[in-house]
Structure 1
Amino acid sequence: MLSKEMIAMSYRSLLVALDATPANPVRVSIAIALAREFEAHLIGLAPSATVELQALQAAAAMDDYVSGACATLLAQARALAQNFHQRCGAAELPSFEALADQTPAAQSLARHAQCADLLIMSQPDPSLPDHRQHAATLEQVLLRCVRPVLLIPYTHREPLRTRRVLLAWDGSRESVRAMTDALPLLRRADNVWLMHWRRDAEGEAPAERLACQRQWLALQGVDAIVREEVTALPIGDALLNAASDTGADLIVMGAYGHARWAERLFGGVSRKLLESMTVPVLMSH
């Protein structure tokens, strides 16, 4: 049983997205492992509705088709929820629930995430025929979600490791929010890098702000190594290179965007990471 002090530093409720993609079993395994590690309640959510089907419902001539498609998707969602329930039971988790929801995926995930500390999803797989729909759903979830989102690369097949964490920092509200949201994982890490990139070697480095941020992390029980680099690379590439150089297991960063991903950080680093992530990424908007 966790002490009151440990509970205050922990994730107490986790939400994992359920779908029929090949990445689903690994994502569920990671969610179960995290729930066990944090002694957290685990919710599995399988949304069944899509934006496309909602639009089709406006066409009376398509009523029969839409009704049949909705019934099929709902049956699939219920099967996913049942499988999740069985896996949690087999893992002997003490607290879990499985939900099948007819609300559109992005809306459903963002709404249910309000009652969780962390949402777990997967990077869209570009080889799948409905890749664009998955990407659009993820985009909308990141923009709507009030909780951090842990993204697992679609190629990831191993247990989640969070012993070496790379924090991407630019002093913005989003990056600070991500850092705060990641604290339960950061406190368990062996190595944490707080990194900032800039373009001009002659420009003023934000040394004072970085030192202040490092001090704040130390007060939270996180000993971070500060690294400030000058680079001519796109920042997304520099970030991925740094993850490789440090052997990071996890990247923590802000998610930037507005209604149509009008990104303003690093010329599109959020999109670069969504498309090219090599390790799990925790994002907060």
Structure 2
Amino acid sequence: MTYRSLLVALDALPANPARTHIAIALAKAFGAHLIGLAPTAALDLQALQAAAAMDDYAARAGATLLAQARDIAQRFHERCEAAGLASFEALADPSPAAESLARHAQCTDLLVMSQPDPSLPGHRQQLAELEQVLLACSRPVLLIPYTHLEPLHLRRVLLAWDGSPESVRAMTDALPLLRRAGKVALMHWRSEADAQRPLEFMACLRQWLAFQGVDAEVHDEVTPLAVGDALLNAASDRGADLIVMGAYGHARWTERLFGGVSRTLLASMTVPVLMSH
């Protein structure tokens, strides 16, 4: 298993250049085709404000946003050319952002997006769109912190496992990256009152990873903290460059995502996170 095609979300936000740089570097590393997608709804609203005084507001505003999306796609095309990328394409799509990204991701192996910046206008809308993408996307999503300006390093990867199908899928989806990692820590957290001792089963997971070419260290930790906080602390203590985890998909998915471990990571992530639903 490897990544043969990648999709990166394009927009007019400050995090776009670093996200694009990481996507280009990944495409080069895996010899993958890279698609840059600029959905019009993902762009800033200044164009809408500029069009507000015009007649036929909706049509003109939509045309303005599509023109802006095409400009962003063109600049992405130029960056890929300058980087010497062998295979790429740039698309502008008038569809809503979440719908467009989830649909185009079906034809790729990995979607690259950014954590919304809470200091920017439209943060709540961007979080809602990210939530929709994670719910609807059939591929793994690599989230880049809005503060992250460096390339994606894989010296130390933290692989979070909680026994759920989502965490196993994330583990499988991340295999191309895990094989390139210097160190992989397969980690599980539980409270002191939890009598479950999953070390034996985690040893089976470690063996499966070894069959896939990944040498992982197993850690079952007792903690008084919420799992999300324990995960972030472990990532900091271990100097992790990447976190791999599942994003939950139960009936009350929205509440689970923004009320548990995933919400903690989305709000406080300091390193890239690969999530699978």
TM range (shorter): over 0.9
The equivalent residue for 1:263 is 256
Which deviates more from structure 2 when the two are superposed, residues 63-72 or residues 178-187? 63-72
Match of 1:47 among 35, 39, 42: 39
- Offset at residue 264 of structure 1 (A): 7.5
Q: Matches of 1:191 and 1:116 in 2, distance apart?
A: 27
**CA separation of 1:141 and 1:259: change in aligned 2, threshold 3 A:** farther
1:223 aligned to 2:183?
A: no
Q: Matches of 2:257 and 2:264 in 1, distance apart?
A: 13
Letter in 1 for 2:213: G
**CA separation of 1:69 and 1:259: change in aligned 2, threshold 3 A:** farther
- Coordinate RMSD, CA, aligned: 1.8
Contact 2:36 / 2:76 at 8 angstroms: preserved in 1? yes
What is the 5 A alignment of 1:148-163? 148-163=140-155
Letter in 1 for 2:79: R
Contact 1:201 / 1:230 at 8 angstroms: preserved in 2? no
The equivalent residue for 1:15 is 7
Q: Matches of 2:126 and 2:252 in 1, distance apart?
A: 17
The equivalent residue for 1:210 is 202
The equivalent residue for 1:144 is 136
Q: Which runs of 5+ in 2 are unaligned?
A: 46-53
Match of 2:266 among 261, 264, 274: 274
What is the 5 A alignment of 1:91-106? 91-106=83-98
1:165 aligned to 2:147?
A: no
Letter in 1 for 2:84: E
1:62-113 per-residue CA deviation (whole Å, 9 max, x = no partner) reads 9822222211211110011000000000111110000000111000000000
Q: Tell me the SS of whatever aligns to 2:95.
A: strand
Q: Matches of 2:222 and 2:61 in 1, distance apart?
A: 53
TM-score (norm: length of structure 1): 0.90
Identity of aligned residues (%): 75
Q: How many residues align?
A: 266
**CA separation of 1:104 and 1:63: change in aligned 2, threshold 3 A:** farther
Match of 1:24 among 16, 25, 32: 16
1:249-279 per-residue CA deviation (whole Å, 9 max, x = no partner) reads 00000011456513189x6000110010010
Match of 1:185 among 169, 173, 177: 177
- Offset at residue 149 of structure 1 (A): 0.2
What is the 5 A alignment of 1:112-127? 112-127=104-119
Q: Matches of 1:172 and 1:264 in 2, distance apart?
A: 14
TM-score (norm: length of structure 2): 0.92
Letter in 2 for 1:152: I
1:5-43 per-residue CA deviation (whole Å, 9 max, x = no partner) reads xxxx32000000000000000000000000000000000
Q: Matches of 2:112 and 2:257 in 1, distance apart?
A: 25
Match of 2:245 among 243, 246, 253: 253
The equivalent residue for 2:126 is 134
